[in-house]
Copies of this chain bind each other. A is one copy, B any other.
Amino acid sequence: MHLLERQSRETGRDYALRTVKENIITLELAPGSQISENELAAEMGLSRTPVREALIELARVKIIEIYPQKKSVVSLIDCDLVEEARFMRSVLECAVVELDCQLATPASLEPLRQNVLLQNFYLDSYYPETVRELDNQFHGILFDIARKPEVFAQIQNISIHFERVRSIALSTVKNNKIVEDHQAILDAISQKDIPQARALMAGHLDRYEIDTDAIREKYPQYFK
């Protein structure tokens, strides 16, 4: 497992959660692989308690499955769940960009502009993690402008199914399409063009859906 640096004031539980989550998304902890509270605890230099608390949280969104007294495994990729996550995001994000068109001001759009600039900057540098982080930030800012930060937080829980698939796709799929999408969405919001913004967002999130089949070809053992 790839260990992250533990941040100051970060509780053991938060550290464990962040680490395990990251390793699941990057497939370092592969779909279907067994995980042990004891092993993880030892690797991260923690006791079982904080690790266990983190795993419970991950089990709640079905990204890991806990079989009591038997074992815990990283869930296989479940296309139904990925579709549910996509549906949830798509529906909510489209509603949010509509709010953004109504609520955005030049000032509140500035962080968004900065973000897209950074995305363009890192596009050719090949830092996949940074690109993914900026992508997440972009969407998070949209929820902030719409004053729905907690909705975004809740979406992110189930979105891990989505992100795991996406992290595979990012290596093979051109990121420039994604950044172009973001730029176009930003422009539509600036012009307060609600139908256009909604359509662009819907198309943007659809991009990831298409990739699923290709990934399944490549890694069939990762799928349910």
Binding site for B on A (CB under 8 A): 11, 13, 49, 53, 56-57, 60-62, 68, 80-81, 84, 87-88, 91-92, 95, 147-151, 154, 157-158
Contacts and interface: CB of A to CB of B under 8 A. Distances in A.
Given A57-B60, A92-B92, A150 B154 contact: no
Copies of this chain present: 2
A165 B157 CA distance: 25
B154 A88 contact: yes
A18 to B, nearest CB: 14
A65 to B, nearest CB: 14
6 contacts: A13-B56, A56-B57, A57-B60, A87-B148, A91-B91, A92-B92
Contacts of A56: 13, 53, 56-57
B148 A158 contact: no
Contact of A95 (B81, B91, B147, B157): B91
A149 to B, nearest CB: 8
Nearest to A78: B150
A49 to B, nearest CB: 8
A84 B148 contact: yes
Contact of A147 (B60, B80, B147): B80
Contacts of A88: 92, 148, 151, 154
A13 B68 CA distance: 13
A147 B81 CA distance: 10
Contacts of A57: 56-57, 60
A151 B60 contact: no
Contacts of A53: 53, 56
Contact of A62 (B60, B95, B150, B151): B150
- Ranked nearest first, the 3 interchain pairs of A and B with the lowest CB-CB distance are A91-B95, A84-B150, A88-B151
A174 B92 CA distance: 31
A15 to B, nearest CB: 14
